[in-house]
Amino acid sequence: MPTGRPHTQIFGGKKQATTPVKVQRETVVPEPSFNVPLGLAAIAGVSAYEDITPLAFVAAILSVFLAFQATRVKCVLRLGDVS
């Protein structure tokens, strides 16, 4: 299967020196997602209704923490940073 490269490069020959071109790309900021915190809040509500208080307590605390994190933590993705 030819790849278009000379055989000398495959066997350790010299490669041509190329300078990488910097391309300015826009920054993507994703919207916060509340799917998991809402699901955990629902589990906490159903657990509290069924008198399973340890599960309700843990799910409620985790739900509040994840909702707080979704609003406060800003994830900025740059294509050049991810390789």
Position 56 confidence tier, pLDDT thresholds 50, 70, 90: very high
Give the residue numbers spanning the domain of 37: 32-83
Residue-level pLDDT at 25: 73
Is pLDDT at 82 greater than 70 in this prediction? Answer: no
Asked if residue 73 belongs to a domain, the reply is yes
Tokens 């699901």 -> residue: 39
pTM over 0.75: no
Q: Where are the beta strands (DSSP E) in 15-75?
A: none
**Would you state the torsion angle of the CA atoms of residues 35, 36, 37, 40, taken in this order, to the nearest 10 degrees?**
120
Q: State CA 35 to chain mean position distance.
A: 15
Residue-level pLDDT at 35: 93
As for how many domains the chain has, the answer is: 1
Asked if residue 40 belongs to a domain, the reply is yes
Closest CA to 37 of 8, 78, 73: 73
R_g of the chain computed on alpha carbons? 25
Beta bridge partners of 1: none
